[in-house]
Structure 1
């Protein structure tokens, strides 16, 4: 996996949310949480697995909505942040945070009602292996996102310390076929890359987000979106 050592550093975990999801980054956080809720539907009393759960943004949100959820991640410091969040809002009894390898999930087939992985496939060095594992342990939908090759993400990617895997539409279709899963739904967003929003205060980012959504909803907007959310079974 790209950036494994960087991702597991204590200082990265402690500053992760503030650096990415404050200011203009709030628009990213809201959109991603909407994508998760839309893909999974009602989650009350369902067993959910989040792979690459990081600091537990989605894990804790779904626990608050009534899910019985497991958050798995390779980073101990990230998991520690998640546990603190769960305890702070009183859902630590319905959340289990565990350290593990997404390529070898320690669960039987069809164990969960749904599985998802956000902010993961752009770092994956074995995307087919990972997607097969996510699908294996899910009796229902699997959600994941990609950063897209035919978008402004290409320019932003040059600035990243570890780079990202970018996917063309053809590459995603090939990934789904190789993993033996069927596409159920797909949505696309963010003509402007994430890094642009994170660099702006909320009041300045807001009109850009409005413009971004207008461009995205116009004809051909999906083709220039920098992020795609895929739901498969």
Structure 2
């Protein structure tokens, strides 16, 4: 998995949200949480597994919406940040953080009503393997995101130290078919890569986003979103 060692360092965990979700990154955070909330729907009383939960950015949100959440990550340092976030929000009783490998999930078959995997599929070399393991532990919904090609992300990818796995729409449809899922819904966002938004102030990011939203509504540029959100069910 790309960046496996990098994500586990204490320094990265401590600075992760400040670097990625401050300034213009707050817009990214808001848009991602809106997409996840819409895709998962009503969570009251549901058991939800979040894979690659990191610092608990989504974990706490899911618990606040009434879910019983297990956040799984390979990084102890990230999990420590997540536990503190849940504690501060008064959600510790609804959240459990577990260190583990998403390729070998430590849960029984059909244990969860839904699984969330954000910022995950761009890091893994063999998505089918992980999808089959996720399918084992849920009979319900899977929500995940991908970085896309063709898009401006392809250019930005050259500058990243780890790079990212990029997906075309047909790649996602094919891997869902291969692993026993049926696509329920999808949405697409951001023409410009995330890195640009993180580098600029929030007010400027909001202005850029308004302009690109109009461009994404056009027939041509609407075909090149840099990120997609997918909602699938076991077929």
TM-score range normalised by the length of the shorter chain: over 0.9
Match of 1:177 in 2: 177
2:192 matches 1:192: yes
Instruction: Check conservation: 1:189, 1:222, Cα contact below 8 A.
Output: no
Match of 1:125 in 2: 125
Q: Measure, in 1, the Cα distance between the counterparts of 2:14 and 2:140.
A: 33
Q: Measure, in 1, the Cα distance between the counterparts of 2:206 and 2:36.
A: 22
User: 1:139 is paired with a residue of what secondary structure?
Assistant: strand
Instruction: Check conservation: 2:191, 2:226, Cα contact below 8 A.
Output: yes
Match of 2:7 in 1: 7
Q: Measure, in 2, the Cα distance between the counterparts of 1:132 and 1:76.
A: 25
Alpha-carbon distance, 1:221 to partner: 4.0
Q: Measure, in 1, the Cα distance between the counterparts of 2:186 and 2:4.
A: 28
Match of 1:153 in 2: 153
Match of 2:36 in 1: 36
Q: CA RMSD in A?
A: 1.0
User: Runs of 5+ in structure 1 lacking a partner?
Assistant: none
User: 1:141 is paired with a residue of what secondary structure?
Assistant: strand
Alpha-carbon distance, 1:179 to partner: 1.1
Instruction: Check conservation: 2:215, 2:222, Cα contact below 8 A.
Output: no
- Alignment length, in residue pairs? 233
Match of 1:137 in 2: 137
Match of 1:96 in 2: 96
Match of 2:202 in 1: 202
Q: Measure, in 2, the Cα distance between the counterparts of 1:222 and 1:48.
A: 32
Whose strand proportion is higher, 1 or 2? 2
Match of 1:75 in 2: 75
How do 1:108-123 and structure 2 match up within 5 A?
A: 108-123=108-123
Instruction: Check conservation: 1:116, 1:134, Cα contact below 8 A.
Output: no
Provide runs of 4+ in structure 1 moved above 3 Å. Answer: none
Match of 1:66 in 2: 66
Match of 1:223 in 2: 223
Alpha-carbon distance, 1:135 to partner: 2.0
**Which moves more between the two structures, 13-22 or 176-185?**
176-185
User: 1:136 is paired with a residue of what secondary structure?
Assistant: helix
Q: Measure, in 1, the Cα distance between the counterparts of 2:44 and 2:165.
A: 34
Alpha-carbon distance, 1:175 to partner: 1.1
